[in-house]
Amino acid sequence: LSPQDLSGTRVLVTLGPTREYFDPVRFWSNPSSGTMGASIAVAAWLRGADVTAICGPVSLWLPPGIHRISVTSAVEMHEAATDIWPSADVAVCTAAVADFAPKPYGETKFKKTGEPLQVEFSANPDIIAALSNTRHVRQRIIGFAAETGDLAQLAREKRERKGMDIIVANHVLTPGAGFAAPTNEVTVIDANGREESWPTLPKTEVAWRLLDWLSLL
Ligand code: C5P
């Protein structure tokens, strides 16, 4: 039997990429598949949580028992997440949110001119920062960090700066970790000073272990 240790816990998960359109047919994005977030959503649901998944454009299956909200851009994901946050106990932000959005070129497809193209970008809202700034003491925030430098040090700083209870750092350049892989290799750090580096594991197992950490906070 599934443990049901999250029975009564309302979990919000953001997952997948966001798409930032710069004309009606072209966008700026990244290769996130949403697999890590979907694994967490399913694990939490199996453990009895009431789960809402805010999904960027992904093609993945979720059990019908999970409340699914589909969004496209970072601004839409931010709006959906801040709407739901007051009625959630935990936010798990796995989405690979685009940090910048190109300024739109208007209603029609822009044409090539033979000249170099200059695109201006505006900064997108930071969803974790928004949740963190409006959190209630009982609410928990789990965030991710894709890093390329000194993973643990950067992650420790990011956890504090963004007000996360747990940060999951993955070295995006390691084979078998990160974007669109079925496995992940992560270092997990929590607000109580716990820190562990896990071997390369299926994302489903990373998800299950993370929920175990949540209950230790
Ligand atoms: O600061 P950085 O973008 O590296 O932090 C990554 C974490 O922040 C991830 O958990 C990601 O889902 C979240 N994030 C967010 N909104 C953004 C950018 C990142 O919630 N605009």
Residue 101 placed within a domain: yes
What is the pLDDT at residue 107? 82
Ligand 1 near 144 CB (within 6 A): yes
171 vs 152, higher pLDDT: 152
Residue 201 placed within a domain: yes
ipTM: 0.96
Ligand 1 near 46 CB (within 6 A): no
Nearest residue to 18 (alpha-carbon basis) of 79, 82, 109, 92: 79
- Distance of CA 27 to CAs 24, 109, 119, 200, Å? 8, 11, 12, 32
Residue 3 placed within a domain: no
Percent of the chain scoring above 70 in pLDDT: 100
The protein residue with its alpha carbon nearest to ligand 1, atom 9, reads 144
| Domain around 72 | 10-216
pLDDT tens string 132-149 = 999 999 999 999 998 877
Task: Report the separation in Å between the CA atom of 130 and the middle of ligand 1, taken as the mean of its atom positions.
Answer: 11
The protein residue with its alpha carbon nearest to ligand 1, atom 17, reads 126
Give the list of residues 6+ apart from residue 109 with CB closer than 8 angstroms, or none: 23, 24, 25, 26
Known binding residues for CTP are 99, 109, 125-128, 144, 158, 162
Neighbours of 208 (CB within 10 A): 19
pLDDT band at 109, cuts 50/70/90?
Answer: confident
What is the pLDDT at residue 27? 95
What is the pLDDT at residue 112? 85
Nearest residue to 189 (alpha-carbon basis) of 159, 154, 212: 159
Task: Report the separation in Å between the CA atom of 97 and the middle of ligand 1, taken as the mean of its atom positions.
Answer: 6
Ligand 1 near 98 CB (within 6 A): no
Residue 4 placed within a domain: no
Ligand 1 near 124 CB (within 6 A): yes
Residue 31 placed within a domain: yes
Task: Report the separation in Å between the CA atom of 113 and the middle of ligand 1, taken as the mean of its atom positions.
Answer: 36
Residue 5 placed within a domain: no
Residue 1 placed within a domain: no
Q: Is the pLDDT of residue 179 over 80?
A: no
Considering the chain, what is the average pLDDT of its residues? 94
Q: Looking at residue 111, which CATH number applies to its domain?
A: 3.40.50.10300
Q: Could you list the active site residues? A: 30
148 vs 84, higher pLDDT: 84
From 97, 133, 151, 166, the mutation candidate for ligand 1 (largest count of ligand atoms within 8 A of CB) is 97
Ligand 1 near 127 CB (within 6 A): yes
pTM of this prediction?
0.95
What is the pLDDT at residue 117? 84
Residue 65 placed within a domain: yes
Number of domains in the chain: 1
